[in-house]
Amino acid sequence: MNRSSSRLARIVALATLLVSPVFAWADAAGDLHEAYAKASGRVVDEATVLWWEVIGNLRWALGSVHQGERYLSGEQTDLELIAIARRNVEMEFEALRLIRRGRLD
C-alpha cells in the first residue's frame, strides 16, 4: 500500500462521513480519482483505495466505540463521548458496504 492511496482513501472516508446521505458520495469518488490521477500523473489503484477506505471506516468505528467505553466506565461523564459512540454503527455499515462493493466488482 502506498501513501498516496492511503491519503486519497482518507479523503474519501472523511467525505463519506460528512456527506448526507452516505451513498451520494459514491458517484463523486470516480471524479476525485480521475482528477487525482490527472494532477499527480499517477494511476489510481481502485483496489488499494477501497482497502484503505474499509480500514479508515473500521478505524473510525473502533475510535467511537472507545469513546463510548470511556463514558460507560465512568472514566469521563461528558455526553459528547456517548453521542460519538452511537455513530459507530454508521461507520460499520459503511465498511460492510465497501467490502460488499469490492467483492461484487
Containing 70, the helix (H) or strand (E) segment is helix 46-72
CA 29 to chain centre: 12
How confident is the model at residue 72, as a pLDDT?
Answer: 93
3 pLDDT above the threshold of 70: no
Q: Report the pLDDT averaged over residues 48-61.
A: 85
How confident is the model at residue 67, as a pLDDT?
Answer: 92
Q: Which cell numbers in the block locate residue 39?
A: 494532477
90 pLDDT above the threshold of 50: yes
Give, as one character, the DSSP assignment of residue 23. Answer: G
Half-sphere exposure for 47 (CA within 13 Å, toward CB): 4
How confident is the model at residue 21, as a pLDDT?
Answer: 47
38 pLDDT above the threshold of 70: yes
Q: Report the pLDDT averaged over residues 23-38.
A: 70
How confident is the model at residue 20, as a pLDDT?
Answer: 44
How confident is the model at residue 69, as a pLDDT?
Answer: 93
Q: Report the pLDDT averaged over residues 92-97.
A: 84
Residue 70 contacts residue 64 (beta carbons within 8 Å): no
